[in-house]
């Protein structure tokens, strides 16, 4: 699963160069992926010589629009993760792929051996309010709209349905490899022509344009984002300093950027 960020690009590198796996690089774009991220993936697959599948769809546009138009407090990233994990499981089943490799870090999962839910655990206390908002949106808004009646009801639903079709394991090498971020960023910069995107949140990350609206909404409705939770875990594990986290999490974007993104959906961000 390649987003073009440092973590997924390094995961791709390790699978090919360190473990010599037969790799299919898979990038999904819901229409709001950044040009820098796409270029990073294309450079990586070219250098590594691996198969590459690029999937672009406008399927999520209706959901993004509905969240903005209804002023829902649902977390955009939670809904998007259900979409892309279902898509990834479908691709794994289609090509009989036994292992799905992600670029998740230790801050994105309390339990590192094997991820089962394919996302942060929304059942954890720190996600309680966000999880309820997302469940309410799915039940009260999305499921009543015919075009989205088959959209997953939860990540657990995605995983359960996937297990019926094809058995595979989801792993991230960053849970196991004893390398810090600086080490593998230097490695992929040198060998894969990787570049830090010019615009992304948090700082020094690679996330899509829609992520800016997701962050804005989360801060407005809850006072924090899932990135705050992830970095808090990394601070407690000694993997990140509090000063660095505060710097990376500082809000540096304005309404003009948000409205330019929402404008593609015919919406504005109040």
**pLDDT (tens place) for every residue of the chain, 270 residues total:** 999 999 999 999 999 999 999 999 999 999 999 999 999 999 999 999 999 999 999 999 999 999 999 999 999 999 999 999 999 999 999 999 999 999 887 666 545 444 444 555 556 788 889 989 999 999 998 988 898 988 998 888 999 999 999 999 998 888 888 777 889 999 999 999 999 999 999 998 999 999 999 999 999 999 999 999 989 988 998 888 999 999 999 999 999 999 999 999 999 987
pLDDT at 104: 83
Tell me the C-alpha to C-alpha distance, in Å, between residue 87 and each of 92, 239, 243, 255. Answer: 9, 31, 37, 32
Q: What is the pLDDT of residue 133?
A: 93
pLDDT for residue 114? 45
End-to-end CA distance of the chain: 33
Q: Which fold would CATH assign to domain 6-197?
A: Rossmann fold (3.40.50)
**Does residue 116 sit in helix, strand or coil?**
coil
**Predicted pLDDT at 125:** 84
Dihedral of the alpha carbons of 199, 200, 206, 210, in degrees to the nearest 10: -110
What's the pLDDT at 121? 59
Phi, psi of 153 (to 5 degrees): -85, -15
Q: How high is the pLDDT of residue 109?
A: 55
pLDDT of residue 112: 45
Q: List the domain boundaries for the chain.
A: 6-197
Using the structure block, give the residue that is written with the tokens 């796409």: 38
Report pTM.
0.90
Length of the chain: 270
pLDDT value for 144: 87
Instruction: Point out which residues pair with 139 in neighbouring strands.
Output: none
- Dist CA 73 CA 94 (whole Å): 35
């Amino acid at each position: 699963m390649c987003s073009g960020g440092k973590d997924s690009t390094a995961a791709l590198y390790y699978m090919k160069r360190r473990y010599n796996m037969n790799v299919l690089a898979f990038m999904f774009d819901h229409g709001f992926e950044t040009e820098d991220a796409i270029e990073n993936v294309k450079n990586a697959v070219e250098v590594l010589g691996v198969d590459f599948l690029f999937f672009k769809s406008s399927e999520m546009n209706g959901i993004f629009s509905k969240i903005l138009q209804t002023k829902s407090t649902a977390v955009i990233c939670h809904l998007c993760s259900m979409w892309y994990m279902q898509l990834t499981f479908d691709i794994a089943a289609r090509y009989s792929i036994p292992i799905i490799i992600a670029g998740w870090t230790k801050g994105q999962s309390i339990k590192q051996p094997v991820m089962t839910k394919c996302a942060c655990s929304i059942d954890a206390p720190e996600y309680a309010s966000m999880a309820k908002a997302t469940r309410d949106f799915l039940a009260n808004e999305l499921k009543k709209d015919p075009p989205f009646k088959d959209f997953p009801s939860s990540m657990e639903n995605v995983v359960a349905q996937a297990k019926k079709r094809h058995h595979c394991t989801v792993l991230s090498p960053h849970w196991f490899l004893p390398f810090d971020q600086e080490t593998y960023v230097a490695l992929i910069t040198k060998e894969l022509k990787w570049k830090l995107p010019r615009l992304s949140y948090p700082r020094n990350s690679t996330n899509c344009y829609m992520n800016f609206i997701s962050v804005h909404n989360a801060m407005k409705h809850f006072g924090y984002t899932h990135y705050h939770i992830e970095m808090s875990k990394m601070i407690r594990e000694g993997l990140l300093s509090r000063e660095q986290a505060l710097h990376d999490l500082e809000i540096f974007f304005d309404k003009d950027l948000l409205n330019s993104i929402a404008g593609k959906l015919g919406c504005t961000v109040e």
